[in-house]
Amino acid sequence: MSASASEIIDPAKVHLWDRGHHGHDVIGTRTFGFWLYMLSDAMIYAALFASYGVLSHVMNMAGGPMPGDVIRPGYAFGETLALFTSVLAYGYAMAALRQGRAGGVAGGLLGAMIFGAVFLGLVGKDIGDLFAQGITPERSGYLSIFFTLVIYHALHIVVGLLWMLVMLVQLVREGFTGNVVYRLVNLKLFWHFQAVVWVFVFVFVYLQGVIA
């Protein structure tokens, strides 16, 4: 790299790049890459929230149910508690990982899965009740985006629960290897990010839907 202009270089012996391993931070690089992926996922949420802002206009109720007929803020707060408790349990799993306690990590994962499943059950019952009343996505533009937002978030929770199940198996089979640890860190990013997104869904769709 420091060759002067007058130095003669043999092309056959030149190395244009270094293939060697010099303590590259694999965990940090993969975590940062996954974080960028999460931000791109958040742009999909941005598109959905933009659609919600457009389709929550009274014109798009199309004479069908209004937000006040669809939303139960108290029930949605119960969903919030379940999801936040799941996130807390995963946080304790990470605290146990820091201390190298496999039992604590497994317990935290199980707790996060249980409360995540409770959240999914509450969301599923809410959607089922609305469907039973004939309140379905095709009734109006507002209902289309309402169900799309809620179900899109719920699908993330399903993916997170499956991922936790896989990590439990890998934890038992492999222990704290580099691969298992970076996947647990990435899953922590994914799971905690769902809590942040839910704050937007809960406040802007549920609470402010009732206000409107």
Partner 1 sequence: MTHGADNPLEHPEVQLANGRSYLLVYLFSCALLGAATWLVTRQAMTPIGLFLLTTALAGVVVVAQGVFLLHMEFSETQRWHTVSLVLFIPLFILTIGLSAWMFHGLYRRTMLMPEMPAPAAAAPAAAGMPSMPAMPGMQR
170 binding partner 1? (CB under 8 A): no
User: Helix, strand, or coil here: 23?
Assistant: coil
**171 within 8 A of 106, measured Cβ to Cβ:** yes
Question: Which of the ranges 95-103, 126-134, 138-146, 154-162 carries the binding residues for partner 1, by CB under 8 A?
Answer: 95-103
193 binding partner 1? (CB under 8 A): yes
Q: Which residues contact 68 (CB under 8 A, 6 or more apart)?
A: 209, 210
Q: Could you count the other beta carbons within 10 Å of the beta carbon of residue 97?
A: 20
Residue closer to partner 1 by CB (options 27, 117) is 27
CB of 1 to partner 1, least distance (A): 20
Measured between alpha carbons, how far is residue 18 from residues 1, 3, 8, 15, 27 in Å? Answer: 12, 17, 21, 7, 21
117 binding partner 1? (CB under 8 A): no
57 binding partner 1? (CB under 8 A): yes
210 binding partner 1? (CB under 8 A): yes
Which of 143, 149, 131, 130 minimizes the C-alpha distance to 56?
Answer: 143
DSSP 128-170: HHHHHTT--GGG-HHHHHHHHHHHHHHHHHHHHHHHHHHHHHH
Kindly state the number of chain residues that form the binding site for partner 1, as judged by CB under 8 A. 62
88 binding partner 1? (CB under 8 A): yes
Residues making contact with partner 1 (CB under 8 A): 23, 25, 27-29, 31-32, 35-36, 39, 42-43, 46-47, 49-51, 53-54, 57-59, 73-74, 76-77, 80-81, 84-85, 87-88, 91-92, 94-95, 97-98, 100, 176-178, 180-182, 185, 188-189, 192-193, 195-196, 199-200, 202-204, 207-208, 210-212
